Amino acid sequence: MDEILKFVTDVGFPIAACSICGYFIFLTLRFILDDVSGSIKGLSGIIQALNNRVKTMNHDVIRIDTLISNALGIKPDIDRIARSDGKEDTRKD
């Protein structure tokens, strides 16, 4: 307590009050940003999981399409199979 009173007498009350308010604002912003960054990390994980599901479904659809085409004696769409190996969006709808 003596340190706080010495600080106030050395720099004056307005500067000491501003310093305390600045520290309070710093703590508040740090708390808010920690919470936001945690939410962003969680959403990033969800997006990656959904992206993996879409890729898996795309491969499954290609596989089923190839199997059905083969079973019915129809020539499979080679261009569609080739597009599925790329990194870009393979849907052309």
What is the full per-residue pLDDT of the chain (93 aa) written as tens digits?
Answer: 788 888 888 888 898 899 899 999 999 999 999 889 888 999 999 999 999 898 888 888 888 988 898 899 888 877 777 777 665 555 554
- Please report the DSSP string for 47-87 in residue order: HHHHHHHHHHHHHHHHHHHHHHHHHHTPPP-HHHHHHTTSS
Q: What is the pLDDT of residue 30?
A: 94
Q: What is the pLDDT of residue 44?
A: 93
Q: Which of 54, 79, 56, 81 is nearest to 67 (CA)?
A: 81
42's CB contacts (< 8 A; 6+ apart) are none
Q: What is the pLDDT of residue 28?
A: 95
